[in-house]
């Protein structure tokens, strides 16, 4: 870890450079970021493609920040399907029936929450929310294969030190 750089990430402008660190140790860089564990929804091949594109887009020394869930994440404890009558609400502006089921996979470690929304006219829409669970070793190898070096790991954006018990972690990687 290099002094908790992820915890000291402060944006000067939403689309501009950021300063990492403080005082004489500060560096300015143009970053890339992904929010809400977005990298964790991709297959290995798609993840590799995204990392290659981010690497290409960054200047030399540019940084990429993102978060991932770990195997310690507590998968929602709903082993059997659930249903509820909803709406107007999150899914639709009118009443609907919501059916949800959770699936866990071991290779790779992943979790799927599948939700079907059934409207009064019989229209069905299915939504799938994937969460790939990463170890530090797996994501470090993927980043290094794409030309990045892990610069910092934290359990949350506030700078809590990473531990094996962390349910999630933030990564700050630098383009080599």
Cα–Cα distance for residue pair 87/99, rounded to 1 Å: 13
In CATH, 9-70+134-175 is 3.40.50.2030:
no
Query: Helix (H, G, I), strand (E, B), or coil: what is residue 2?
Result: coil
Q: What is the pTM of this model?
A: 0.71
Provide the pLDDT for residue 14: 37
Residue 8's pLDDT is 43
Residue-level pLDDT at 174: 94
What does the pLDDT look like over 111-144, one tens digit per residue? 899 999 999 999 999 999 888 999 999 999 999 9
Of 13-17, 77-81, 158-162, give the range with the top mean pLDDT: 158-162
Note every long-range contact of 12-16, with CB atoms under 8 Å and residues 24 or more positions apart, other chains counting.
none
**Res 86: pLDDT:** 87
Mean pLDDT score, 160-175: 91
DSSP conformation class of 49? H
* pLDDT of 39 higher than 70: yes
| Residue 27, pLDDT above cutoff 90 | no
How high is the pLDDT of residue 12? 32
Residue 9 burial (C-beta neighbours within 10 Å; 0-12, 13-18, 19+): buried
Enumerate the domain spans of the chain.
9-70+134-175, 82-131
- Quote the CA–CA distance of 151 and 139 in Å, as a whole number: 13
Average pLDDT over the chain, rounded to whole? 82
pLDDT value for 85: 93
Least confident of 33-42, 43-52, 159-168: 33-42
129 vs 76, more confident:
129
**For residue 45, pLDDT beyond 90:** yes
Taking 70 as the threshold, does the pLDDT of residue 16 lie above it? no
């Amino acid at each position: 870890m290099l002094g908790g750089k992820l915890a000291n990430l402060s944006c000067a402008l939403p689309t501009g450079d950021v300063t990492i660190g403080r005082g004489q140790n500060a560096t300015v860089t143009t970053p890339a970021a992904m929010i809400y564990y977005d990298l964790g929804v991709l297959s290995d091949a798609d993840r590799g493609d995204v990392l290659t594109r981010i690497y290409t887009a960054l200047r030399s020394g540019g940084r990429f920040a993102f978060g991932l869930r770990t195997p310690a994440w507590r998968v929602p404890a709903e082993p059997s399907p659930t249903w509820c009558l909803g709406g107007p609400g999150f899914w639709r502006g009118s009443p609907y029936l919501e059916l949800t089921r959770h699936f866990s996979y071991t290779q790779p470690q992943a979790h799927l929450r599948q939700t079907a929304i059934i409207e009064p006219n019989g229209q069905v829409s299915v939504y799938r929310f994937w969460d790939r669970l990463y170890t530090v070793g797996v994501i470090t190898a993927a980043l290094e294969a794409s030309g990045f070096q892990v610069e910092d790991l934290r359990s949350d954006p506030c700078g809590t030190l990473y531990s094996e018990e962390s349910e999630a972690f933030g990564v700050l990687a630098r383009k080599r």
